[in-house]
Structures are given as structure tokens and as C-alpha cells.
């Protein structure tokens, strides 16, 4: 967020999503996120643009980590500044809901006794609602860097071993760190 806008803002709303230690009685060790980065960035920018057209917002910052996210660490962070709290709070809720529903980021939950790719029900519900899918979460012909591991839908994502990656968008532009 740009500091100059903070002087004009009467409210800053934030959301942070963290890795919890259990899910449905299973012990969670870590989460692993993958994304089709060019499409994810494009969609994040579109979601931010939609928020700007719906609320009187000064600044938006959205960051989502890729790679391994241990228990207790943050995987997603959203901050919105606005003159009034209602705009900041409503836009912040909209941004996390739309991020989950429309940005191609996939999550694998790693448990103490196994692991599973999690279906993003919000993403699938949105795609089915828009009539843009035949039940598949992504196109199989997507080609990405081949230096990583396979994702839930066969695309490969380049993430160095042990290195966290993130995709983010803000007023200053888009940053990619891999």
C-alpha cells in the first residue's frame, strides 16, 4: 500500500489466511500451493479492478504464497484502505471470496498420515455457474516451466525446493517472486 494514501484513509481492512493444525480430525503438517502464475496474476488484477469499480477504495494489496506453507504461517494476505470502514470491509470480503472463486491456485494438504489435493469448491461452483467447464478444474494443455512438480491438473510449476514463492498485486504493480 502506498503510504500517501494512508493519510486519506479512515479505514484499513485486512484479511490473513493461515495454515491451521487440523482439518476434519486429521493433523495437518503443511499446505502446498501451486498456480498457473500468468493466469493467476491476470485474474488477481481483474478482481482488484472489480473491487475498485464497486467501492471507493484508495489502495489494495493482495499476496498469495506458493510452495510450502507450514502450520501457523500465512498463505494469503489482503489489505484495503478506504475513506470509510464499510467500503474497506466490504471490498476486503469481496476480494478474498473472489480470489478463492476465480484465481487458479491449487492446494495440497499434507497430513501426518498422507496428503490430498483439495478441491476448491468455490472455484468449481463459480466455473459451473458460468458454464465454462465440463467438470475439470483446468485445461490439460497448459504448459508452464518444467522444473518443478506436477500440480493437481498436470501442469508443472517452477518452485525451487524449500523456497517460498508468492504472487501479489497492489497499486505499485504486480510482483512475482519465485
Angle at 157 between CA 105 and CA 103, to 5 degrees: 20
The pLDDT of residue 174 is above 50? no
CATH classification at residue 140: 3.90.1170.40
Instruction: Work out the mean pLDDT of the chain and round it to a whole number.
Output: 78
Cα separation, 96 vs 102, whole angstroms? 10
Cα separation, 105 vs 121, whole angstroms? 12
Record the pTM: 0.71
Note the pLDDT of residue 153. Answer: 41
Rounded to a whole number of angstroms, the CA Rg of the chain reads 17
Residue set of the binding site for substrate: 84-85, 100, 107-109
Note the pLDDT of residue 170. Answer: 60
Residue 171: pLDDT band (50, 70, 90) is low
Tens-place pLDDT, residues 99-124: 999 999 999 999 999 999 987 666 55
Q: Can you give the residue range of the structural domain that contains 171?
A: 3-177
Tens-place pLDDT, residues 20-57: 999 999 999 999 999 999 999 999 999 999 999 999 99
Chain Cα centroid distance, residue 1 = 18
Tell me how many domains the chain contains. 1
Residue set of the binding site: 84-85, 100, 107-109
The pLDDT of residue 85 is above 60? yes
Q: What is the mean pLDDT of residues 15-21?
A: 97
Amino acid at each position: 500500500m502506498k503510504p500517501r494514501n494512508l493519510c486519506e484513509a479512515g479505514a484499513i481492512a485486512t484479511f490473513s489466511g493461515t495454515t491451521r493444525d487440523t482439518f476434519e480430525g486429521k493433523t495437518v503438517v503443511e499446505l502446498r500451493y501451486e498456480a498457473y502464475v500468468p493466469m493467476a496474476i491476470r485474474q488477481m488484477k481483474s478482481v482488484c479492478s472489480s473491487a475498485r469499480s464497486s467501492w471507493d477504495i484508495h489502495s489494495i494489496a493482495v499476496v498469495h504464497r506458493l510452495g510450502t506453507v507450514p502450520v501457523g504461517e500465512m498463505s494469503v494476505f489482503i489489505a484495503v484502505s478506504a475513506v470509510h470502514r464499510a467500503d474497506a470491509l466490504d471490498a476486503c470480503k469481496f476480494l478474498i471470496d473472489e480470489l478463492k472463486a476465480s484465481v487458479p491456485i491449487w492446494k495440497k494438504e499434507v497430513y501426518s498420515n498422507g496428503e490430498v489435493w483439495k478441491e476448491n469448491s468455490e472455484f468449481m461452483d463459480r466455473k459451473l455457474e458460468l458454464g465454462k467447464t465440463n467438470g475439470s478444474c483446468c485445461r490439460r494443455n497448459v504448459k508452464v516451466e518444467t522444473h518443478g512438480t506436477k500440480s493437481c491438473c498436470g501442469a508443472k510449476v517452477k518452485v525451487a525446493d524449500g523456497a517460498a514463492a508468492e504472487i501479489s498485486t497492489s497499486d505499485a504493480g504486480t510482483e512475482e517472486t519465485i
